[in-house]
Amino acid sequence: MPDAPSEDDDATPPRRPIVTGAAWDLAVILWVTADQFATDEETDP
């Protein structure tokens, strides 16, 4: 029985925005880190 709700939860649309939000957070962190790296590299030389 627990398998059915799990599948339903996975297919539920409201679950998608949560994943998107987490992915967006990760993307922002990566972008900021990359920006800092680029700025640091440009300031180093």
Residue 21 to residues 10, 13, 28, 32, 39, Cα–Cα distance (Å): 16, 13, 10, 16, 27
In a domain, 9, yes or no: no
Residue corresponding to tokens 């180093």: 44
Q: Which domain holds residue 29?
A: 16-45
Structurally, the chain folds into a number of domains equal to 1
In a domain, 35, yes or no: yes
Q: Does the residue 32 lie in any domain?
A: yes
Question: What confidence score (pLDDT) does residue 30 get?
Answer: 92
* Residue 35 contacts residue 43 (beta carbons within 8 Å): no
Residue closest to 3 by CA, chosen among 11, 40, 44: 11
User: For the chain, how many helices (H) and strands (E)?
Assistant: 2, 0
- Assess if residue 3 is contained within a domain: no
Query: Looking at the domain assignment, is residue 36 inside a domain?
Result: yes
Residue 43 covered by a domain: yes
Taking only the tens place, the pLDDT of each residue in 9-37 is 555 555 556 667 788 888 899 999 988 88
At residue 39 the predicted structure's pLDDT band, cuts being 50, 70 and 90, is confident
